[in-house]
């Protein structure tokens, strides 16, 4: 096995990032949190406006991202998350980031990509596709805990409202709306521990790797 792609999609705070990192570590695959690409563009966009952004300008910001942009320590804030959701709906942004993601996905040694359109748009031929989800209250509680642990002042109702707004925007956008691929394995983490969720994902991938060796 030289190339093997795992596509993991799902809404915010579903657990897909944690599962993706664990899967990558288990199999020795490279990992890309594609949401960071959009968060980095969103952060740049906030320096221009907190409202509608010119699509061509947004695309230019995306085309000039650097690895240093992805390493910024403030990409997990609520304003940047909302900005990321807005720029992700801009076709010029998605086009600028498409090639990078596709190249990463087919790198030697295997790759795990997590995001919102990996299985449907970026890697429709991925060997394994997972769609990780949980109910919105559970996801809001997780995000609230993450934000407060990092010193951000907010409240659960605000986090829940922001999350629902983002869900609606992500699911209804014209460009690559959030939805599971027809052949994706659904992984609901509402009542599932992270260890159990990772174990289920690993089992699915091992089964597919075994099929590929037949």
Average of per-residue pLDDT across 52-74: 90
The total number of structural domains in the chain stands at 1
Cβ atoms within 10 Å, residue 74: 10
Average of per-residue pLDDT across 90-109: 92
The range of the structural domain enclosing residue 191 comes to 5-212
pLDDT at residue 77, as a whole number: 86
At 21-54, the pLDDT tens digits run 999 999 999 999 998 999 999 999 998 877 778 8
Please say if the pLDDT value at position 91 is more than 50: yes
pLDDT at residue 214, as a whole number: 41
pLDDT at residue 89, as a whole number: 87
**Taking the CA of residue 144 as centre, how many other CA atoms within 13 Å lie in the half-sphere pointing to its CB?**
16
pLDDT at residue 115, as a whole number: 94
Query: Where residue 1 falls among pLDDT bands split at 50, 70, 90?
Result: low
At 109-163, the pLDDT tens digits run 999 999 999 999 999 999 999 999 999 999 999 999 998 998 888 999 999 999 9
Q: Where is pLDDT greater, at 211 or 8?
A: 8
Average of per-residue pLDDT across 99-106: 92
Output DSSP code: residue 181: -
In our burial notation (b when 16+ CB lie closer than 10 A, e otherwise), range 38-52 reads bbbbbbbbbeeeeee
The residues facing 131 across adjacent strands are: 9, 186
Please say if the pLDDT value at position 186 is more than 90: yes
Query: Where residue 87 falls among pLDDT bands split at 50, 70, 90?
Result: very high
- Binding site listing: 10-18
Query: Where residue 212 falls among pLDDT bands split at 50, 70, 90?
Result: low
Say what the pTM is.
0.85
- Binding site listing for ATP: 10-18
Query: Where residue 64 falls among pLDDT bands split at 50, 70, 90?
Result: very high
CA distances from 208 to 65, 130, 213, 214 (A): 34, 12, 9, 10
Cβ atoms within 10 Å, residue 141: 16
Q: Which CATH number do you get for residue 56?
A: 3.40.50.300
DSSP secondary structure, 47-101, as one string: TT-SS---HHHHHHHHHT--HHHHT-TTTTSHHHHHHHHHHHT-HHHHHHHHHHH
């Amino acid at each position: 096995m030289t190339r093997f792609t795992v596509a993991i999609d799902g809404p915010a705070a579903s657990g897909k990032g944690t599962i993706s990192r664990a899967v990558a570590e288990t199999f020795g695959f490279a990992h890309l949190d594609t949401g960071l690409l959009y968060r980095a563009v969103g952060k740049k966009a906030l320096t221009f406006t907190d409202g509608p952004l010119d699509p061509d300008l947004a695309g230019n910001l995306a085309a000039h991202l650097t690895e240093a942009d992805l390493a910024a320590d403030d990409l997990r804030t609520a304003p940047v998350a909302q900005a990321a959701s807005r720029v992700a709906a801009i076709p010029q942004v998605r086009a600028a980031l498409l090639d990078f993601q596709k190249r990463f996905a087919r790198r030697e040694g295997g790759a795990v990509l997590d995001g919102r359109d990996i299985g449907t748009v970026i890697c429709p031929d991925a060997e394994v596709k997972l769609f990780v989800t949980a109910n919105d209250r559970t996801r809001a509680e997780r995000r609230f805990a993450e934000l407060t642990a990092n010193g951000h002042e907010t409240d659960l109702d605000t986090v829940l409202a922001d999350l629902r707004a983002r869900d609606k925007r992500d699911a209804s956008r014209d460009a690559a709306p959030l939805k599971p691929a027809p052949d994706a394995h659904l992984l609901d983490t509402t009542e599932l521990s992270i260890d159990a969720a990772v174990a289920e994902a690993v089992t699915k991938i091992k089964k597919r790797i075994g099929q590929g060796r037949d």
